[in-house]
């Protein structure tokens, strides 16, 4: 029974994340990224979870209420960005602006897949399978997209600075990280103790912002195209 519960939790976290990964990767089909590098980046995102948890537990003894929520978000977003910098953003295959967005989203989805599995595990192991399914659906439509939006924002700022000096790239990444922290913190604060109508309102905002991210994704494609034409 333990194995079945574990399988349900893992699949419940992994499959939605893989769906969103497929959705975003197909937007980069003209020059797709190496599968091995995508897999490595996704796994790296998953590994951020066990890195973040001890730090977040430590924060529980130091902060409370909104400050604690903010510190938790800072830990998650900073670690995701730091791991992306270490694992993939320096790689030779990151050779066009859109790649920054692709790999930041991949890191985010790796993180979300394991985090979602942990959230699903609790109700499932307690025998509440329907609760696990509901949790998975909510996180598929809300928290998972929030992670995409937050990390994707960093990717957008890095992409816009792709042809700039290293100092400008550093500033762009730092500003993107601040935007990610603000978005993630606001989501968490508004979703806490919210009723059904308020949760729906928060989700709608996340969906609209994700659509905005999609349009920025397309805009970055145009940036690469214009640069290529200019060089010719």
| pLDDT level of residue 136 (50, 70, 90 thresholds) | low
**No. of helices (H) and no. of strands (E), the chain:** 8, 0
> For residues 107 and 78, what is the distance between their CA atoms, to the nearest angstrom?
12
CA-to-CA separations, 55 to 78, 79, 132, 140, 205, in angstroms, rounded: 12, 11, 26, 25, 29
> For residues 218 and 207, what is the distance between their CA atoms, to the nearest angstrom?
17
CA-based radius of gyration for the chain: 18
User: CB of 116 within 8 A of CB of 18?
Assistant: no
| pLDDT level of residue 64 (50, 70, 90 thresholds) | confident
Per-residue pLDDT tens over the stretch 163-188: 899 999 999 999 999 999 999 999 98
- Of 183, 161, 179, whose CA–CA distance to 227 is shortest? 161
User: CB of 41 within 8 A of CB of 86?
Assistant: no
pLDDT score of 1 more than 90: no
User: CB of 112 within 8 A of CB of 17?
Assistant: yes
50 exposed, middle or buried (CB, 10 Å; 0-12, 13-18, 19+)?
A: exposed
Per-residue pLDDT tens over the stretch 6-17: 787 788 888 889
Q: Please give the model's pTM, rounded to 2 decimal places.
A: 0.91
Res 191: pLDDT: 83
User: CB of 183 within 8 A of CB of 175?
Assistant: no
Query: Which residues span the domain enclosing 115?
Result: 2-231
pLDDT score of 222 more than 90: no
pLDDT score of 4 more than 80: no
Res 85: pLDDT: 96
How many structural domains does the chain have? 1
């Amino acid at each position: 029974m333990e194995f079945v519960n574990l399988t349900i939790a893992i699949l419940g976290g992994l499959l939605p994340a893989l769906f969103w990964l497929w959705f975003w990767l197909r937007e980069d089909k003209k020059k797709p990224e190496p599968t091995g590098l995508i897999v490595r980046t996704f796994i790296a995102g998953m590994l951020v979870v066990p890195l973040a948890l001890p730090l977040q537990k430590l924060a529980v003894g130091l902060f409370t209420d909104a400050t604690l929520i903010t510190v938790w978000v800072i830990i998650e977003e900073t670690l995701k960005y730091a791991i992306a910098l270490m694992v993939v953003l320096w790689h030779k295959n990151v050779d066009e602006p859109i790649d920054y967005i692709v790999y930041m989203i991949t890191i985010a989805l790796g993180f979300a897949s394991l985090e979602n599995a942990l959230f699903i595990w609790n109700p499932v192991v307690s025998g509440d399978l329907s609760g696990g399914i509901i949790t998975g659906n909510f996180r598929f439509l809300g928290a998972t997209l929030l992670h995409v939006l937050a990390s994707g924002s960093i990717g957008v700022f890095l992409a816009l600075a792709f042809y700039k000096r290293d100092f400008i790239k550093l500033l762009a990444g730092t500003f993107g990280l601040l935007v990610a922290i603000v978005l993630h913190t606001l989501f968490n604060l508004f979703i806490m103790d919210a009723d059904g109508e308020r949760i729906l309102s928060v989700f709608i905002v996340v969906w609209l912002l994700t659509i905005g991210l999609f349009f920025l994704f397309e805009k970055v494609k145009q940036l690469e195209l214009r640069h290529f034409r200019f060089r010719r």
